[in-house]
Structure formats: C-alpha cells, structure tokens
C-alpha cells in the first residue's frame, strides 16, 4: 500500500556452481520527497512525501495493454487493504515482460584471423513495471533484470505539471528582478520549479547475510625521479586503486560526485578462485542533491536526500526513509536520525539506501502533458562470477517482422 512493488529474494543462477545465488533480500521505493520552490503564501507548504502521505501502492493504476506494456507482457493484479479494513483489488497493476530493443550484450570482431571472425550476443532482459499516479504526476517504475546478473532500476516521470495562475501572458511583462518561482509555460500559467528525490531501500545479501560497504578511490601517483637509476618506463604518472571499507554508518554517507569512484557491497567471507572479494557495484544515476539548507524545516523532514548513499545495519523497524508517520512530521524519526547512532556496518547484515534525484525546471514542452523523463541506477556484479556468466548464451532465432507502411 505504501511503497508499491517490492522485489524479494532476487537471485541469479550460476551455471558454473549449478545453483541460485542471492543478490538482494528485498528492494523497494522507501520514500519520495517532492519540495516545490515557491515561497508565496499559497505554495510555500507544498513539500510532499508521496509514499508516506498518499501511498505509492494505493495510487497505482491499471496498466493499459499494448500501451503501458508491450504485447508480450503478462499482467498481475494487486491486492491491498482499504482504510476500513476491507480487501480491494487493482487489476493489471503490474506487468512482466521480456525486452529486446536491439541492444548488444557482448561482441567482438577478430580482424587478424582469416575470415574476420565476429561474435555478437543480443541483450534480452526481464522487466517488472508499475505506474503510480500521485495527484498530477505519473511515476513509471521499472525493475529490469539482465542475464549478466545486473539489476537496473528506472524511474520515469510524466503526467501534468503543477501550475499556478499568473497575470502575465509574456515574459517581457515581468519586472526586473521579480521572482516567478517557475517558468511561464503558457499564457497566464506558471510551471513551478521543484525536485523529486526517490529513495530506494536495498537490503542486499551478496551471497550471504554478512556484507561490507567498500568505497574505491582512484588516485594519481607520480613516479619519483631516482637519480642514477635507469627508469623502467618513461612514464611520469599513473593511477592506482585505494579501497576504503566503511566501518560505521558515518563512513558510508556519500554525495555522488564527491570523489568516490566506485561504491561496492562485498561479501568479505567469500572470494573468487583468484582471491577477490565477491560483490555488487552500485552504478549511480546523475549526481543530484538537495539545494535547500539542512536546517530548513521541510529539508529536515526529507533529510534522507542530504546524501545519495547511506548504509545501515539491518533493523526490521527501519523501513521508511522518511519515518513511520510522515503526515505533519518534524523529521525526528527518519534515516538521518537513525544514522546518528553511528552503528558498526562492517561484515554485517546491511541495508543500502540510494536516492535518485531530479531537479525540475519546467519548460514549455512540459505543458500541458509532460513527455517522459527518466533516471536510473544499476546494481552490477563485481567479481561475483568466476568469468563472463553469459559467454554461452545462444543468439536469438531469426524472426521475420511484418513490414509496416504509413496509411494514406
């Protein structure tokens, strides 16, 4: 009811080991923080926590076959409990389908050998989709599972802008220095600037419960001048890798783009035959963070957006990044408060919290219906397998597609 789709017990089949190996115990959207940037009396309070205040699952809508989902999709109904305790059903709330969009899984052309040997494998993925219409916005959520073991999560925005009336019909009519808090998208209509911060609760179990969070820094090193000793290389510099295992919660707070090059959850108790820690790497989306002051009341309520990445030890009561009750909350029970305890997270059952962000400055093309705007992140195997796990995947069978032409 609150978060919509939950992905549980996500595992990947390892052909070499002939077994399923756990990647994620449970993953879901924990909260959505949408602060509008209009300080007028009618708008300043419009900062929403969509999951906790409205219910991301309750706001899910039936999907339209062959429009919201392709023709090969299978649909699932959703069930939940209404406010008076009676059961309710939303038909076709999820769709599951295989996607082949002409993407390449892997390829190589060996031009040195006689005959120019070429091998290519097409990328076919499994997608789980839900759409939640929260008031004016439509959120399209895709969980995409790749044969390589990667899990890609995409959040797409569409729907109708939240707009307000204006006396202006042209931008030239505004006075110098006047703050409109948005863009004049049509006559007498202003699309207000705002943000979307979508927080994901990712309870990863990388081949077991005990995991660690590793920050990898790429450092430039300068080769020292050793007088009298012939250099082995004329190079003067190179870059090397420095790994930093987060010991406590404070070590794991990350603003994407602040320096850490790779962020990985590893199982330090299991290694590959080559001796590497098995793990999964977080491939973040765009580096987007809040621009409100941290002591702004609304930012205190949505404080999980202060960092893109948090890591906490698993606690069954800590499910919602914005707190258990967010209606008129004061931000005293949320992810930012929990992590002040600075608990140990090394070699523990840990939860990775990732916030995907959008700064939305409306443009005229967004009005009246907004074209889809997407952001994504990915969880990718990092020394999880002994080798390329899709090396023996067969190519797709040839298909004769019907030729289409425009109707005159």
Catalytic residues: 50, 137
Per DSSP (E only), the strands in 64-205 are 74-81, 87-99, 104-110, 117-122, 125-134, 137-146, 151-160, 163-165, 182-186, 189-192, 194-204
* Helix (H), strand (E), coil (C) string for 73-106: CEEEEEEEECCCCCEEEEEEEEEEEEECCCCEEE
What are residue 165's DSSP bridge partners? 189
Contact (Cβ atoms closer than 8 angstroms) between residue 138 and residue 159: yes
Cα separation, 379 vs 107, in Å, equals 22
Instruction: Kindly report the length of the chain.
Output: 408
Residues 6+ apart with CB under 8 A from 43: 36, 164, 181, 192
Contact, 127 vs 144, CB < 8 A?
A: yes
Q: Are 34 and 195 in contact (CB under 8 A)?
A: yes
In whole angstroms, give the CA distance from residue 129 to residue 140.
7
Q: How far apart are CA 283 and CA 274, in angstroms?
A: 24
Task: Encode burial over 222-256: b for 16+ CB neighbours within 10 A, e otherwise.
Answer: eeeeeeeeeeeeeeeeeeeeeeebbeebebbbbeb
Other residues' Cβ atoms within 10 Å of the Cβ of residue 107: 10
Neighbours of 117 (CB within 10 A): 11
Sign of the dihedral defined by the CA atoms of residues 260, 263, 268, 270, in that order:
negative
337-373: b or e for each residue (b if 16 or more CB lie within 10 Å)? ebbeeebebbebbbbbbbbbbbebebeeebbeebeee
């Amino acid at each position: 009811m609150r978060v919509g789709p939950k992905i549980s017990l996500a595992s990947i089949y390892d052909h070499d080991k002939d077994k399923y190996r756990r990647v994620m115990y449970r993953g879901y959207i924990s909260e959505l923080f949408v602060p509008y940037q209009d300080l007028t009396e009618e708008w300043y309070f419009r900062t929403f926590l969509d999951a906790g205040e409205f219910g991301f699952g309750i706001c899910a809508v039936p999907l339209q076959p062959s429009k919201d989902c392709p023709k090969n999709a299978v649909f699932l109904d959703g069930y939940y409990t209404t406010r008076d305790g009676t059961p309710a059903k939303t038909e076709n709330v999820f769709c599951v389908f295989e996607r082949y969009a002409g993407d390449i899984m892997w390829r190589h052309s060996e031009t040195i050998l006689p005959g120019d040997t070429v091998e290519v494998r097409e990328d076919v993925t499994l997608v789980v989709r839900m759409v939640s219409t929260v008031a004016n916005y439509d959120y399209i959520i895709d969980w995409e599972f790749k044969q390589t073991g990667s899990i890609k999560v995409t959040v797409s925005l569409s729907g109708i802008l939240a707009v307000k009336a204006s006396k202006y019909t042209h931008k030239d009519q505004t006075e110098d220095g006047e703050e409109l808090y948005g863009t004049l998208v049509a006559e007498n209509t202003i699309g207000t600037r705002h943000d979307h911060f979508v927080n994901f609760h990712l309870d990863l179990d990388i081949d077991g419960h005990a995991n660690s969070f590793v920050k990898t820094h790429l450092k430039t090193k300068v080769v020292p001048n050793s007088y009298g000793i012939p250099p082995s290389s004329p190079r003067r510099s190179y870059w090397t890798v420095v790994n930093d295992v987060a010991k406590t919660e404070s070590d794991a707070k990350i603003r994407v783009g602040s320096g850490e090059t790779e962020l990985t959850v590893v199982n330090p108790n299991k290694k590959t035959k080559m001796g590497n820690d098995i793990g999964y790497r977080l491939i973040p989306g765009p580096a987007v963070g809040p621009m409100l002051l941290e002591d702004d009341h609304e930012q205190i309520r949505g404080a999980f957006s202060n960092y893109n990445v948090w890591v906490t030890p698993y606690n069954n009561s800590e499910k919602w990044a914005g707190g258990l009750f967010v209606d008129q909350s004061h931000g005293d029970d949320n992810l930012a408060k929990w992590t002040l305890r600075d608990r140990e997270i090394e070699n523990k059952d840990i939860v990775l919290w990732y916030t995907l962000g959008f700064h939305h400055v409306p443009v005229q093309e967004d009005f009246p219906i907004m074209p889809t705007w997407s952001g994504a992140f990915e969880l990718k195997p990092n020394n999880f397998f002994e080798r390329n796990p899709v090396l023996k995947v067969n190519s797709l069978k040839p298909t004769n597609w019907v030729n289409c032409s425009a109707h005159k």
